[in-house]
Amino acid sequence: MNTASPSSRIGGFHKLGVAERIERVARFAGLAVDDQVHLSDTGNLPVETADHMIENFVGTMNIPMGVATNLRIDGRDRLVPMATEESSVVAAVCNAARQSYDAGGFITSMSGTRMIAQVQLTGVSDPQHARIRILERLEDIRAMCDACDPVLVKLGGGFRDLEVRVIDTRGGAMVITHIIVDTRDAMGANAVNTMAEKLAPHIAQWTSGRTNLRILSNLADQRLARARCVWPLDAIGGAEVRDAMLSAYHFADADPYRAATHNKGIMNGVSAVVLATGNDTRAVEAGAHAYAARGGRYASLTTWEATASGDLAGAIELPMAVGLVGGATKVHPTARLALKILGVASAEELARIIAAVGLAQNFSALKALATTGIQKGHMALHAQNVAMMAGALGEEIDHVAQALVAQGAVRIDVAEVELGRLRGR
């Protein structure tokens, strides 16, 4: 009997057609014909598109996309597409937005659309001299960077500024050059990475050092999206609720253990819009968390205060490197549609809406946590998942879910009993 496990060494897997790849995976993992049919169904993302987006493509992973309602942002009503696997994320934004709608909703702004790319220089005995030598080349660097992307320059973007820092590391002093580039409606990774790679040999030559990494920084702190909103005291349920929410914020801002969860909730909203619009969720998440730690201790991305009249004022500020051109935003048909629903004309507009969604998400989380607790609302939605896991279909899902919530037992075994009872009837 051959008990050897199948080998994952599959030479030239990427050169196979999609059907052959699925066949090879099926053989490896012992997949049934139904499983293969499932993988072959790519839904509304054409196979040819998906196959060109990543390597070794074998299927799509569909995530539900909902729209957040009730949002009024900078005086304009928006429906905001959100792609998420987590129940209650969309509902949280809708609820927060509903409670702020009559008071005018969210006001947003942005610090700019500048991205930073870094060039690492090592092996210089006189790093301070090297730093000045690089700074002297400002105009050469500007010309070199702008020559890399004439289209960006034509659209009003391009090189903006130069910063050179000397840092102490375990490997000795390093001279780190930042090129700061306005990437306008592009997220800008390709543009700035190209510039950094082009520039690096010149930096090495000017300083007689050795350049190593040439890559953007996800700490996009020259691309900060901001949103603020005031929730009237009577809309949120009075001073007791407000004070409990403020205390929850004080907790998060003082304690990294809580801040991680607090900011995770914010990113529930942020990442869902970033994903729905085909943008890079990891870039935005890395930027947000690094920004949250900018003071030397990881803290809250939002602030919460009571206004002079006693209402609840929330604000958020975080890096938001998102684009409307390039990458999946243009290639993925659902991302294109999401942008159409949003009706945004610029990357800045998109970034500002995302900041408002992050703030709304945080409002709902704090309110739920500071009052009824998160499980009540969460479980009502989670019960539907559990009902489906137990095999409920169509109208059965709501019936079974309601029964689970009523019993206060959102469990698969209880769902199976309820489903059996329902079908027996």
Q: Which two tokens stand for residue 131?
A: 């730093």
Using the rule CB under 6 A, which residue among 273, 274, 365, 400 binds ligand MEV?
A: 365
Q: Does 261 bind ligand MEV (CB under 6 A)?
A: yes
The arrangement of strands across the sheet holding 312-319 comes to 76-83, 65-73, 106-110, 224-231, 312-319, 302-306
Residues 369-398 that bind ligand MEV (CB under 6 A): 369, 374
Q: Give me 78's structure tokens.
A: 């928006």
CA angle in degrees (0–180, nearest 5) for 293-97-330: 70
What residues pair up with 158 in beta bridges, in sequence order?
182
- Give the range of 55-63, 232-240, 257-265, 273-281 binding ligand MEV by CB under 6 A: 257-265
Residue 244: partners with Cβ closer than 8 Å, 6 or more residues away: 370, 371
The span from the CA of 151 to the CA of 177, in Å, is 24
Considering only 78, 262, 332, 382, the residue that binds ligand MEV (CB under 6 A) is 262
Nearest residue (CB) to ligand MEV, 86 versus 396: 86
If one asks whether residue 265 binds ligand MEV (CB under 6 A), the answer comes out as yes
* Contacts with ligand MEV, 63-92, as mask; x by CB under 6 A: -----------------------x------
Catalytic status, residue 376:
no
Q: Provide the 3-class DSSP secondary structure of residue 192.
A: helix
Active site (annotated) includes residue 399 = no
Among 84, 120, 268, 300, binds ligand MEV (CB under 6 A): 268
By CB under 6 A, the residues from 105 to 164 that bind ligand MEV are none
Residue 26 vs 241, nearer CB to ligand MEV: 241
Candidates 54-62, 64-72, 262-270, 287-295 — which segment interacts with ligand MEV by CB under 6 A? 262-270
Q: Which is nearer to ligand MEV, 60 or 281 (CB)?
A: 281
CA 328 to chain centre: 14
Q: Is 280 a catalytic residue?
A: yes
Q: CA-CA distance, 160 to 115, in Å (whole number)?
A: 10
User: In the numeric block, which tokens belong to residue 95?
Assistant: 């609820």
217 near ligand MEV, judged by CB under 6 A: no
Residue from 294, 276, 269, 274 nearest 284 by CA: 274
| Nearest residue (CB) to ligand MEV, 214 versus 262 | 262
Contacts of 30 (CB under 8 A, 6+ apart): none
The rounded distance, in Å, linking the Cα atoms of 215 and 200 is 11
Active centre residues (catalytic): 86, 264, 280, 378
User: Binding residues for ligand MEV, per CB under 6 A?
Assistant: 86, 261-262, 264-265, 268, 365, 369, 374
